[in-house]
Amino acid sequence: MPVFITAHLILRTAQLVWALDIIIVGKNVQSTFTIQTDLCWDDFYDRARAKFDDPQAKLAYKLTGDAARAPPFQLNDADEYSKAMGRAVELCTRARTRKIEMSVYNQVSSPIPKVGIGE
């Protein structure tokens, strides 16, 4: 019986890590970079701000399959980023044939399109 309990604990503490393409959507530019879903918030935010070339960027995101007309989710602190990565891992775990991507917008300078990705 202890063997089953130990195995159960190992499975519960295991964290799935996925590669996730990040699409930076700006006024005049679109660029892409890839992260792993266990990347820390500070590293992600630094990379996104560098792509937008805006040190004061206010970020928002949509994942593949998010409703087209729904507003994007906020992405401005570690808690919101953690929730976003949780959603991304859940989608990646269920995805069979489609690629899961995250579009990131700067709410200050980027237009947020009416049509979401994946639709």
* Domain extents in the chain: 16-106
The domain 16-106 is placed in CATH, from the list 3.10.20.90, 1.20.1300.10, 3.50.30.50, 3.40.50.170, at 3.10.20.90
Beta strand 101-106 with 19-25: parallel, antiparallel or unpaired?
A: parallel
pLDDT of residue 42: 95
> Residues 72-89: pLDDT tens digits?
999 999 999 999 999 999
For residues 99 and 101, what is the distance between their CA atoms, to the nearest angstrom? 6
pLDDT of residue 26: 80
13-17, 70-74, 103-107 — which is least confidently predicted? 13-17
3-state secondary structure (DSSP) of residue 60: strand
**Cα-flanking dihedrals φ and ψ of residue 10, to 5°?**
-65, -45
Q: List the structure tokens of 50.
A: 């560098």
| Rounded average pLDDT over 42-68 | 90
State percent of the chain over pLDDT 90.
41
